[in-house]
Each structure stands twice: as structure tokens, then as C-alpha cells.
Structure 1
Amino acid sequence: MVEELLGVRPPDPMPDKKGSKTGGLKFTWLQQHFHEPPDGADEPNFERYARAYVLYVFGTVLFEDSGGSSASWMFLPLLRDWDEAGRYSWGSAGLAFLYRQLDEACRRSSGTSNIGGCVLLFQIWMWERLSVGRPISRTRRDWEYDEPDRLPTVTHCWDEVRTNWGKTEDLYMSYTNELDCLLPSHVQWLPYNQIDFQLNVVCTQDESMWSVRCPLICFYAVEFHLPHRVVRQFGRLQLSPPETISTSIELHK
């Protein structure tokens, strides 16, 4: 399948120290073979490079695994037909994958444990709403593009920051204690109301779906989207306690 869609056969996966084989394509291999398309490349060749690039973005941003060295090839068949791929809800799939990664990460105990998913999304979401671990924001650079589809996203608010440094163990304890002491009044529920620049249209084009309660699906990861628990971030009155919807272990099998 990889050779069919990318035009190059990858090396056979080698088992790791635990005897498991990789479930994806190494980033180093993708960079080596698809760094830049050759001059005069035809359309099929460009499509192969485009698939490799999208797969690389999936593995490094949207669907990053906790290993951080390869892109899962379970997404590759979905990139066979570009028109069909454009109909998928990649955002909801990315959110489902992130939810599952958070669920798994909080149950890991190894000293080398890590987290996967779109951690950039999680990081920006947290910085916007909570003071815990929030860096100091500096004066951001002026945005150089005016076209509606090239305007910045919320991430531009954190274009220039001064991050917090320290030992992982110390920061972990500090952040855990701060999170345990959080009150509703400590949360910035409507952070986007304070943005002083024009957002990219992609940020609000699906606004009608923000409050939908439904399963989010990404292959094996099925997680419920339950915005009724945090309707204050949509400017609505929060009922307390919110309606209970089971997210039992059965959902995660």
C-alpha cells in the first residue's frame, strides 16, 4: 500500500526492544525521500509528495503519537482520493485522538512516559483559559497577509512568549498543586472575546457545530463531545450539575 500510494517501498519494520514493530513510517524516511519534488515532476508524482507531506503533518501535529518518531500509516489509505479526503472531518478526528491520548497518558507511570495527539491545540487551549503554566506573552509580530484565508488563528496571540523553565519534577508538582486549587472564578471562560485582530475564517466557519453532543471518531478512538459541561465558554448560562452522560470504560474498548 505504501509503495502504491507513495511510489517508494519503505524498509521492513524492525522490532524494538520489546519485540513490537513500528506502526508507521519514520519521519527520517519521509524526509529523505520526499524532501522536495524533482523538477518537471508530473501530476501523479506531485500527488505522492503531497500525500507524504500530509502524512508528515498528521504525524507531527494532528495525530502525533507518544513516541514522536513516526507517522501512522492507518491514515494513508484515506489520502488515496483527494476529493474523498476533503469530505472527512479531520478536526473532530483530531479531537477524538487527543482525548484518547490524554486518557492514556494520565494512566502511565513510567519515568519516560509521554503524551500524543495535537498537544499544540491542548497547549493553546490551556494558555487561553488557565493561568497554570501560562508563559508571559510578549509583543507579537505584525501579520503580513491580508487575504481572508491567510489571516492568523488564535495561536497568533502567543506568537512571542517567555516560557517557564525548571526541573520537570518540580514543575509537575507545582502545576499539579495549582490545578488542584483552581476555582471557577480562576478560569477565563470567554478568552476569544478579547482578541484584537481579525481571525482567519476557518476559526468560526463551523460555529453552528460547536455545541453539538455527539461521538467523535478516529478509527479505534471513540470519545464523546460534551460541550454542555462548559457552555460558559459559549457565553451561555451553565447549569450545575450538568446533565450526566456516561463515558464508561465500555466506550474505550
Structure 2
Amino acid sequence: MSESTDKCLVERWHPNTHTFHLLVGECAVTLKDVAMIFGLPTDGLPVTGMTLSSFNGLEAEYLHQFGVSLRKLDCRGSGIKLTWLWDLKERLQLTDENSIQVYVKVHIMLLIGTILFGDKAGASVHWKYLPLLSNFASIGQYSWGSACLAHLYRSLCRASRFDCKEIDGPLTLLLCWAWMRLSYLAPVPREPRSFSLANRWRNWERGDRVYRFLKLAHFRKALDELQEGQFVWVAYSADRVDPDIVPGPTFRNAS
């Protein structure tokens, strides 16, 4: 299902204007969408830095931050295998402040590799993000939302090329954006009062058996026949999102 929705949206993506061209007008995923759907900060320090690729550097960085050694077979190119991170997370004993910080860093690396900046293979996460986590107190000061949105735009532009067969990037963001705006195409939300709003469809596949088997033709036809009023332009109004569940700073950063 998700691949069908992604493909339909990519077909309507215009790389020059970074907008979707629909029958009812042009629209795009914005910083406010990232803040509301993922709960990520959209201002702050830029997510940038040096991209190093030597195994010695990677090994030293992981030993310094996680306190464990790394083997070459745990790597995939310039990335660390997600299975290695999952195993490390399961083994950690939360006995003191340092072990808790290591646990949080591993969890963030997994989020980066699977949700925020995932690649097509979905098997590893590039270690270039790890230096951004070295100062634990400053992790939340980065504009992760801006970087995530930029990554989605780049992924959509690449996927719109005629010779591209797959798309990577934060597809959870793209899907939740589509489900918020095109509610008649969305599965039934499981947790309507949850924040971040992506949690609304957590484990949705368990209860939406019919929806799971809808084909590409279904979603393509639905978008081709889109009528005025079916697209929600104001997706976060009080009648759709309870303001009591939205943290104040997140909403202000997204406005």
C-alpha cells in the first residue's frame, strides 16, 4: 500500500517548484508538517559536518561514544548495519547516566537510519551523523526537521526521474502528510489524540486488512478524480488536531 501511495505522489511531483500538482491546486510538505507529524524542531543549528569514510575513524568514533568496539563485518560501506545497533540497544543495561545517554544515542541513530534519513536498502545508517551526537546536551538544538524535509525533497526529485525505479528518504513523513490531507484515502487512525501525529497510524496494518491490499490503480484513480473539498488545506485546525496535545514550542517553531 505505501509503495502505491508513494508512487502516485511522485508521479505528481514537480522537481522545479518542489510541489505536487493535483487537480485542486499545488501543494507541498512544509516545515510545519514536519514539526506536527514528527515533532521535530524546525529551527536551530544546521545538520551538517564532515563526511569521513575511513574505518579507523568510524571505529574510533563508536568506541568513544558507545564504549564498544566495531568490526568491519558490522559495517556496510560507510554505514553501520542497523542489526548491529538493534543488538547493542537490546544488550545495554541502564544502570547510570552514561548508559542511558548511550541508549538514547543508539535509538536516535536507528531513527535516523529508518525514519528520518533512510536509504533504499534500509539496512544501515551512515556514520556521518554520529559526530552530531557527541555532545549529548546539544542534540536537541539541531534543526532535525529542516534536514529531514530537505532530504525528502531531494528524494522526491530523484524519484521523479524517468530512469528511477525506487524512492528513499522519510517516506513515513510523506505518507502521514498524504493521510492528513487526503483523509478519504487514509486508514482509520488508531490513536487520534497522540503526538507526534505520525503515531495516529502506528501499527495500522493490524486492523486494516482490506486497506492493505489496495493496488496502485486504486490510488491513481482516486487522485485523478480528486474533487474540491477532498483535499484538506488546513490540516491542523482545532477541529482536526486537539491543541492540548501539541507542545507549545513545537507549534511555534513550525509556524
- Secondary structure of the residue that 2:161 maps to in structure 1? coil
Indicate the residue corresponding to 2:141 in structure 1. 87
Which range moves more in the overlay, 89-98 or 173-182?
Answer: 173-182
In the TM superposition, residue 63 of structure 1 has moved relative to its aligned partner by 1.6
RMSD (Å), alpha carbons: 3.2
The AA in structure 1 aligned to 2:175 is Q
Residue number in structure 1 paired with 2:151 = 97
Note the alpha carbon deviations across 1:163-183, whole angstroms, 9 max, x for none: 62337xxx2244334334435
2:213 pairs, out of 166, 181, 186, with 166
Which ranges in structure 2 are unaligned for 5 or more consecutive residues?
Answer: 1-60
Shift in Å at residue 76 of structure 1?
0.2
Matching of residues 116-195 of structure 1 within 5 Å: 116-130=168-182, 133-135=185-187, 137=188, 140=190, 152-155=195-198, 157-158=200-201, 162=208, 164-166=211-213, 171-182=215-226, 184-193=228-237, 194-195=239-240
In structure 2, relative to structure 1, the CA distance for the partners of 1:183 and 1:69 (3 Å cut) is same
1:217-232 aligned within 5 A: none
Q: How many residue pairs are counted as aligned between the two chains?
A: 190
Aligned-partner Cα distance in 1 for 2:139–2:254: 22
CA distance in 2, matches of 1:84, 1:196: 30
Of the structure 1 ranges 101-110 and 53-62, higher mean CA displacement relative to structure 2 is found in 101-110
Q: Secondary structure of 1:38's partner? A: coil
1:166 maps to a residue whose letter is F
Q: Which residue type is aligned with residue 35 of structure 1?
A: E
With over 3 angstroms needed to count, the CA separation of the structure-2 counterparts of 1:36 and 1:201, relative to structure 1, is farther
Distance across 2 between alignment mates of 1:10 and 1:73 = 12
Shift of 1:78: 0.2
Higher relative contact order (CA 8 A, sep 6+): 2
Instruction: Measure the CA separation in 1 of the matches of 2:124 and 2:161.
Output: 23
Aligned to 1:201: 246
* Contact 2:74 2:80 survives alignment (8 Å): no
Structure with more helix by fraction:
2
C-alpha separation in 2, matches of 1:141 and 1:210: 22
- Aligned-pair CA distance for 1:30: 1.0
Larger radius of gyration: 1
**Structure 1 residue aligned with 2:52:** none
Change (3 A) 1:191 1:172: same
How far residue 190 of structure 1 moved from its aligned partner, in angstroms, is: 1.6
Deviation per residue, 1:14-37 (Å, 9 max, x gap): 99xxxxx52311111112223142
1:38 pairs with 85, 93, 98, which one?
Answer: 93
Q: Residues 132 and 101 (structure 1 numbering): CA distance in 2 closer, same or farther, change over 3 Å?
A: farther
Aligned to 1:22: 77
TM-score by length of 1: 0.61
